[in-house]
Structures are given as C-alpha cells and as structure tokens.
Amino acid sequence: MDVICKFDGYNLGYHTLLPGDDYQWSATEKGVYYCRATWVNKIVAWHGYQPLRDASHGTIFWLAKDDGIFLSYDKSSYVKVADWETE
C-alpha cells in the first residue's frame, strides 16, 4: 500500500507499507492533514488529522483493512472513516 499525507502544501512524502508496517508522524494542531492511499487497484482519501476531532487526543491510530480506513484513539476500538474506491 502506498500512502501520502500533506499539510498546508507541505508533502510528508510517499511511503510504501507492507502488512504489519506502520508509518508515524507528528502533527501540528493548527491544520488539517490530508492523506491518500492506493492499494492494488483501490484508492482512498481521508483527513489524517483534524484539529477539532483529534486535538484532545495524544495519539491517533489509523488502520487500513480490506473494507476501508479506520480511526482509533486507544488502538483497540476502531471506527470506519472511509471506504476504498476502485481506480
């Protein structure tokens, strides 16, 4: 899976992740981070960080599964936030 996140025109770079890999970065609390992932013939986009949603949480966890992208603040309970689409 290839992942890219951007913030205010700043590109955090492309990252190729294999099953079990993780990708970490620190966010400022001032803006929205936009992320996009591609996996085989699927694509998904989501807000990797939103100040109003995420600022009160120390760490944000994202999980990519066959049926979409999921968000968690405790790494145990996940909520689906985006579906994969076919390119």
In this structure, which amino acid lies at residue 53? R
In this structure, which amino acid lies at residue 68? G
Question: Any idea how long the chain is?
Answer: 87
Q: For residue 43, what pLDDT is reported?
A: 98
The answer to whether 36 and 44 are in contact (CB under 8 A) is yes
Mean pLDDT of the chain: 92
For 53, the enclosing helix (H) or strand (E) is helix 51-54
Q: For residue 87, what pLDDT is reported?
A: 73
User: Tens of pLDDT along 9-29?
Assistant: 889 999 999 998 988 888 877
In this structure, which amino acid lies at residue 87? E
pTM (2 d.p.): 0.88
Phi-psi region of 68 (alpha: psi -120 to 50; beta: other; left: phi over 0): left
